[in-house]
């Protein structure tokens, strides 16, 4: 599980162009943001994405509860969530939803976080583009995240590290 801030400040990437043709990339930087919360199972590529307007402990708790419902976490079906040490990763007063267990990665170790590799894929659809509003950006990201949820093989290729422990179902 990881979070990613993305907004109306443009993401610029190199692109191919015909020789001698000038490239233009319209930009209108504004500092308004959305946050993508993503969960991925590196072994299967199964994923869940949520777009949220904020990144704080309340949003984290709502997303974690929604995730628990979508994966049918329960006393009989436990789900281990690997997360970084974000200060907002605070469970609700009653704790995480039933069936959700978390493990924290060491500080300053994004290279250990499989979900960190998802951001290049989510950003691909918005790179070198200009959006008139946060709603337009939200729509583009929603479509990309919905598509990524159907691309288990691609997500496994990006997130299944050679050292990741594999478990029999």
Tokens 């907002």 correspond to 88
59 by Cβ neighbours in 10 Å (0-12 / 13-18 / 19+) ranks as: middle
> Using alpha carbons only, how large is the chain's radius of gyration in Å?
18
Neighbours of 83 (CB within 10 A): 18
Distance of CA 146 to the CA centre of its chain: 12
Alpha helices in 71-133 (DSSP H): 119-123
- pLDDT single digits (tens) 25-73: 777 788 899 999 999 999 999 999 999 999 999 999 999 999 999 999 9
Q: pLDDT digits over 59-112, tens only?
A: 999 999 999 999 999 999 999 999 998 888 988 888 999 999 999 999 888 888
- According to DSSP, the residues that pair with 116 across neighbouring strands are none
Would you state the structure tokens that stand for residue 98, as one six-digit string?
């039933």
pLDDT tops 90 at residue 22 = no
């Amino acid at each position: 599980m990881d979070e990613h801030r993305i907004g109306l400040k443009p993401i610029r990437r190199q692109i191919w162009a015909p020789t001698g043709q000038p490239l233009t990339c319209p930009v209108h930087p504004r500092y308004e943001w959305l946050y993508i919360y993503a969960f991925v199972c590196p072994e299967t590529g199964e994923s869940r994405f949520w777009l949220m307007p904020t990144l704080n402990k309340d949003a984290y708790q709502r997303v974690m509860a929604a995730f628990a419902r979508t994966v049918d976490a329960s006393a009989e079906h436990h789900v281990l969530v690997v997360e970084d040490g974000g200060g907002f990763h605070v469970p609700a007063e009653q704790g995480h939803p039933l069936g959700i267990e978390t493990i924290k990665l060491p500080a300053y170790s994004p290279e250990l976080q499989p979900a960190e590799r998802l951001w290049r894929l989510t950003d691909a659809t918005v790179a070198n583009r200009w959006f008139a509003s946060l709603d337009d950006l939200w729509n583009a990201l929603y479509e990309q995240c919905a598509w990524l949820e159907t691309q288990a093989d691609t997500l496994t290729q990006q997130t299944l590290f050679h050292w990741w422990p594999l478990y029999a179902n």
